[in-house]
Structure 1
Amino acid sequence: MKVGVALWETVQFEGSRWQVVALDAGAVALRSLDGLRPRTATVAALLTCPEDGPLEANRVPLLRVSAFDTAPAAARAQALFLQRHVHEVLTGLPPDCPSGTRARPEYDHQHTLRQRVEAKSTELSTIGIDLSPRSLWRCIAHYRIDGVAGLLDPRTVRTATVTGRVDPRVVAVVEDVLAHQKILSTGTRARALAQIEVEAAAENLTLPSSRTLYRLVNRLDRQRHSFGNATTRRTQANRPDRAYGHQVPSRPGQLVEIDSTPLDVLVLYPDGGSGRVDLTIVLDIATRTLLAAVLSPVAAKAVDAALMLARAMTPPLVQPGWADAVRFSRSLLPEGALEEPEVLAEQLRERPVVSIESVTIDRGRVFVSSTFLAACERLQISLVKAAPRTPTDKPHVERMFRSINTLFIQYLTGYTGPNVVCRGADVAAEALWPLAQVQDLLDQWIVQCWQNRPHSGLRLLAVPQQHLTPNEMLEALSAVAPGVAVVFDTDDYIALLPRVWRTVQRYGINFSGLTYDSPALGPFRNVRSGIRSPEACDKWEVRYDPYRMNRVYLRNHEAGCWVEVGWTLQAQTLAPFGIDVLRAAQAAVARRAERPAASAAALLNEINRIQTSVTAENRVERAARRRGSTQQLPAALPQPEPSAERAYLRVVVDASDVAEDQPEQKLAGEPLPEPQPLKRFLYNEPPDDGWV
């Protein structure tokens, strides 16, 4: 903690000890205590160096003064009562006496301090308070060091740890048993306690009572779901024990994620068999554009992953055989299920080719193979490897798999559902789609539906309330200016800021509708503070600056320091914003958002818009331009009809109805005769004539 310097005080400066021998208008004269020559320095230089400063603090830190507010009301009243009498012993007058009041004779400074202490002890004993001179001397010593906070009863401000008085060796055994639950099938707490007893007996440890162990297990679980669903438990264990990262690429292709996963659908293989397929996709993060998506009947091979890069960077129109494959699939599918190649080509021209600069991959054998690495090296693509078994390192592509499943896959026959609980009675008995036709339908869905579907994560500062489509974002992507970082390193200033009480969750601190996170919050996540005051309720003390809401400060009462925690989107703000700007932005987003729960990106864009709107005329001008842009953007590209995603629902074709005596027509790629379907499986009731 940096404090002021006084004359004849010993300070640490530039690795040596010095004594202040003179002060003059912000400059000090220093005499070396290590045999160096005398020198002068400014007070600012003396107090701003991280490792330098006074060796002895001559005043009470404000951090300790603020701890007085966390004590119970009865303890604070007792401390204020003692302060009044201690102050009278030291100065001769109570702290709240009017000016001009003379000290009582027994507390006049003509008497020694020892005599005044004995007089005060006698006075307190007459009113029924037994405070010996020795106890009064102790109160005076604490008052000189910590102020009124030093007069608090230590038993009332004592903090409790999560584990209480349990032996630390027993706590370590419980932690090991809970950590081992991640790979086991879900059991009860009784099974965990039995394992704890076995391991404690092997180490000759004495265990507390069963009720204490149950409470200890519940406190140490900390949202691990050790006794819940096994899938949830493994997901929680995969979360990184650090602050979540937030990547914001500024141009298409700057950050691309690639991954593969089995789809929840059964398809027909080219060999006549059936089974699930693997989907490998390449997703551009800046625009949410699906650069490529390839289905394979078995586990994806390394050559398939290398082909993904080529497909992502090559327009389908110039890929050999693309038009012929579409025509062939169209001849097999029901009428209207697949568009003409010319129509698809026109829609594909609206999606330009994105040049990939870097790609994030997991450590699967498909992507760490020499084939894929050689392809990336040839295309001059930088590789970023995700941490082992950490899907959160590439969250966008993981979420994209779910979107494909809910927006496309579930409408096909053979859909198996995400797990056996959601599976139909006999999925294998349903007539299935061929793999090649599913691939073509997926390509068409990407071009027609996904690329023209508004995405909540795609917004522009000019129209923050408007959700853009991937195609629109490719055309209108703009860079976001970095925020101005304001660093405060004065503990006294932080201690005087307004205070709130908050818990620290896995994602950070939630305050005033914003999420704050920092790597330094690791030891505090899902941990109780131990402050027992009625106001705190085991929450952490958080200080915030009403004029700079882009960061808050968590008080570590055990270490006696502050932990700076920033807003997760503070790097994208134009400047630090006040609480009034935040309230206005939240109200504007609530009025303009299409859905009640607006995203953090919309709030960020609204804050930046308010900060750049200086005058009323400017605001009216910008609002008019936004309204004009909002009306023109959706009309720039064709939008799919609401039922476009259901245009090819669960239609089954039996290829045996096609004439067997037309092999030349099949090889030539000419349209085959329209097949006669044996069955039609539709979610909605079909009309009497025609396809749905």
Structure 2
Amino acid sequence: MIENRIAIAPGDIVLTDDGTAVVLRIDRAGLEMRDVRGQVSWVEWPDLKTVAPIDGSQTDEAPTLRSFAETWNRLDEDARAEALFRLAVVQEVATGYRHGHPELRLPGEPSELFDPALGSSLTVRCRRMAERLNHEMETGRRSSMSAPVSVRTVHVWFTLWRANGLIGLVDGRRAKRIEVFSTLPLAWREAAREVVAAFDGDVSTVNLREVRRRVKVRLRDAGQDLQVPDRAASRYVSHLMSTRGATTRAQRSNKLRGVSGTASFPAMVPGQVVAIDVTRSDVMVWCPVREGACSVEIISAMDLATRVILALRVVPMSADAHDASMLMYDVMRPFSQLVEGTDVSDWAWAGAPRQIEFYADADDAEPDCSGVEVTCPRTCRNLRVAPGLQGEHMVPGVRPAAVRADHGSIFVSQVFRELLARFGIDLPLSRTRRPIDNGILERYHETLQRGLQQLPGYKGRNPSQRGRVVGLDGSHRDEPLLTAPELEQFLRRWIVLDYHRTPHTGLHLPGAERVDLRPIDLFDALLKVTGRLHVPQRPDLIYDFLPVRWGTVGQSGVELSGLVYDSPVLDGLRAVPVGTFRAEDRAMPFFYDPHDVTRVWIRHPESERIMAVPWRKAHMTQAPMTETLVQHVRGAVRLRQGHPRLSSTVAEDEIIAELGSLLEGVAPKSWRKRVSAARMRHETARHDHTEAEAAMTVADMVTEHPAPSPTQPRGDDTFSIWADSWPFEASDREA
């Protein structure tokens, strides 16, 4: 075997087991070199061998001692790079020169901070080196470091180098793994990888002993009889199986690595990736139905590029797919919150129904701190507020390019997937058993404790933080528990006035001195770079987020899920020809809210307006009519003896009677939990639809009396948002 030839001249670097050495003199029999400690030694030519470049400035292979090269080459590239980085650190601490020799000085060397001739102690030099390394890491000039370095760490590196040379600076875990696996024959390792590769999630997983048996069978069939160390073989098989996945679900997830939608990438602009997740609230709320405390969940959506919370809802245990759909509805709506004196308004949909006008703004104008100014309404968040809390605070709305979620049933459901597909949104799910894939939002759940701990009924993050009596302390001893709507209102205020305005340690400008930014400030800065965001904005936008049910309208109305709906708005649609709405029958689409089944909605084919069609017997009960509760009641009614088969009309009457008794508190205790969750969801749905109806009413009024053109002066350069941002046709427009 012919080894590579290298050219060596006086002044070149040779890598030794003690670090770098500089060549002093060359002879036909060998060379003379001096190491970092100042010791001069003679090396004959047969004792030299080539290795990979020592640093990035070299393009050819570098010379080293043959005895050291065998150990050095068994290390992987990351281990060698890490050891050489540490070597440069300790050499500069020891000599004042990064390469350890005056002949190889870099500009500015020897540094006054590390020159031992100036009398600084080793501890002082280690402290200065740790400070410089951490500063370079924070400013982005040192990308090879993943964590801060302490003075103790630098001192340990120096001690290990002085005792064991360069090999002492190699991470012991890396060296141990390489040393063990290198004792296994290459053919045996390839056979083991082929056996383990078969476990892709479709094949049942076996134990490690069976994997080793299959490796032996594969080698025997190939005519190879290899003897391998038992311990090394076991560790290698365990390493391969742990990488593959311990369960079939994990194996299927790992098989998707590298596929579009599963690979991680940094979010660079607002709306590029929105993370959503559900967490149990650590604050108990008061339930009027159960007349006691109960637990709820908090579902949130965060823009990963800016850490802005785009939407938040408090939902009953446990969140369903429609809760996730309504959260996406909130994500696409820009909100505003007004602070006037000590009054703080709830989140209002910007432009509907309480705020109609925005104020024009000149980009080059100086901010007027005497009042509130809002820039172009076609951007979601570009607002200047007066100093302090007073003024209007905007919560932006975005149209996500992708939504990051875990494998929760509500996120992988067909309802949620179809909703995202309708808006062209990708759904890159986190890997199974890897919560760190959505780690930014998981960390936000810990930050949320700062707000929850201010409330009565706080029960601690986990059982180790829980007291004997939940929610009673010196500050909240006499305060009643909040209801679920009140908790949601408080959290929304806390997000806008606290979280969005608090410097975030995860947000800073790359390549510059570390300055923590506030989430809302970074959103403003990135919005200036990316330009306006395109978000669908219509007063009837909520109905794009509802599932569609198809039903045939007859003389008595339309029957959907066992309930009959009828209204005068269906006149003219009761006997439409086949193929009017779809080719195969006379059915027409209805928007259906699983959290409020007392009515459905249609988009009238003539006026293109959304119109409600109520349930015929909605006036006979005040119960929270949700789809889940109705199904439970219907199931209980049909199981009664003497009525094995009931018509839909009789079932409706029984449902009214059952729900009525439940509402009066006569029902068994087992039903109160269902009724409590149903009431919470029903009230939220009523609020959402009432807001949409108010917005559509205002839109109809503006249509009848058009607002002045934006080009016409009106007051202090104000213009109506309705004239430009809310079109009244079915197509989406940018906002």
Could you say which TM-score interval applies, normalised by the shorter chain? 0.3 to 0.5
Q: TM-score, normalised by structure 2?
A: 0.33
Q: TM-score, normalised by structure 1?
A: 0.35
Larger relative contact order (CA 8 Å, sep ≥ 6): 1
